[in-house]
Amino acid sequence: MSNNRKKFIQQLGAGLLITGFPSVASAGNFLYEEIDLKDFENDGAADDEKYWKRIAHKYYIVSKDYINLENGYYGIQPRPVLQAFYKNITHANTEGARFARKVYPELSVTIKNELANFLQVSADEIIITRNATEALNIAIQGYPFKPGDEVLINQLDYFSMIEAFRLLEKRNHIKVNAFDMPLLPVTEDEIVELYSQLITDKTRVILLTHVSNINGLIVPVAKIAAIAKQKGIDTITDSAHALGQVPFSLPALGSDFVGMNLHKWIGNPIGAGVLYIKKERIREMSVLFGDVNTAEENISKLAHFGTTPFAVTMTIPDSIAFHKLMDVEKISRRLHYLKSIWITELEKNDAVEIVTPKDMSCAIASFRVRDKKVADVADYLFKQHKVLTVNRALGKEGCIRVTPSVYTSADDIRKFTTGVKAYTG
């Protein structure tokens, strides 16, 4: 056995191999068989095309029919994770109820511990949900609002969270104050200052979308949360696009309520999200799914979900293990680099309007072509250049969102810019 492989078994050991359940152990063994640690040893510099090409080639299976620059929807699972998922599906399916009743309860505790460890929080501060929407709805709808409370949101927040707050407003529980976030802020402090000005003495909660799904803007969550806290205001943070795309420490955000998912940038199979609630805040939360038996201070009171997708949850340790190997610092530098290539190229083009600040974003960035419908541009890029992007709602004109992933090459990006240049003439 090579040293690399031995080391990887040790890395996985705590999470996967000690569980003693054959399928989980074999999921770990699969990773060990397929992964060569040497592939990940070099710095993985953002512009090292050779490094990233090898990773893409060995660890990702992606369609060759088109260039996927719409990785903001969900992440392509790395091959070892996909294989672990297949094994987990087969295991849960073969063993049936015996597995669900005898094995899964204990196994799910191990998985939750691993996830909490990865997030640097305590396992009794998280619940595993099916996605970020579910996680954040539990936080938003369970929050102890009082009549007259106000909530601050903006146009770059994710529409489902806006809907959740609007629903509470419709039921006369709160008042929603919406403002327009500047699309091209120059400094983080500009955003912090804006929040300071917008807070009123009735503001109770601020919704913070850590990384916007519309234009990729990264907001300084920790700075805003600190100011809010001083004034007794809570932040509910939507880190659906932040987890795995940009490095951050969950406890250091200083936000007591954070919703995330694992199927965008962690590479887990679709159907896994996480809600973090700071321990001392759990008691005051009311439940969205009926539960009268669990203790008020136990976060499990919020997770009365019924039957869950076992295999998706079982694969979480594999996704985390692979993501750690890839290294979030390397990932985010690479994604930032790929994004910068196209922005630098297209910002020279007078017909193109970039609606993302290059230095306050990571993978995701958006643009428009002046006087053209965004849907037509996205359509043209796909039909004529086989480049998949997506148009998003943003003001009157909308925008086209471009999201590379770790398997995207600099050449892919150039094909995209060539397409835009051909369109604008």
Ligand X SMILES: Cc1ncc(COP(=O)(O)O)c(C=O)c1O
CB of 365 to ligand X, least distance (A): 14
Residue window 152-191: x/- pattern of binding to ligand X, with contact defined by CB under 6 A: ------x-x-------------------------------
The per-residue b/e assignment along 118-131, b for 16 or more CB within 10 angstroms, e otherwise, is bbebebebbbbbbb
Q: Between 110 and 366, name the residue whose CB sits nearer to ligand X.
A: 366
Residue 72's φ and ψ, nearest 5 degrees, are -80, -20
Quick one: 383 exposed, middle or buried, by C-beta within 10 A (0-12, 13-18, 19+)?
exposed
Selected from 91, 112, 204, 241, the binder of ligand X by CB under 6 A is 241
Near ligand X in 250-279, by CB under 6 A: 261, 273
Near ligand X in 119-138, by CB under 6 A: 131-133
Residues that bind ligand X (rule: CB under 6 A) add up to a total of 12
CB of 88 to ligand X, least distance (A): 20
CB of 316 to ligand X, least distance (A): 14
CB of 131 to ligand X, least distance (A): 3
Task: Report yes or no: 184 and 358 within 8 Å, Cβ to Cβ.
Answer: no
Q: Which stretch binds ligand X (CB under 6 A): 12-20, 100-108, 235-243, 328-336?
A: 235-243
Near ligand X in 18-37, by CB under 6 A: none
Selected from 151, 164, 240, 277, the binder of ligand X by CB under 6 A is 240
CB of 149 to ligand X, least distance (A): 22
Q: Between 160 and 298, name the residue whose CB sits nearer to ligand X.
A: 160
Near ligand X in 380-409, by CB under 6 A: none
Q: Between 209 and 389, name the residue whose CB sits nearer to ligand X.
A: 209
CB of 61 to ligand X, least distance (A): 22
CB of 245 to ligand X, least distance (A): 11
Q: Between 241 and 330, name the residue whose CB sits nearer to ligand X.
A: 241
Near ligand X in 187-216, by CB under 6 A: 209, 213
Q: Which stretch binds ligand X (CB under 6 A): 29-37, 237-245, 246-254, 289-297?
A: 237-245
CB of 238 to ligand X, least distance (A): 5
Q: Which residues bind ligand X (CB under 6 A)?
A: 131-133, 158, 160, 209, 213, 238, 240-241, 261, 273
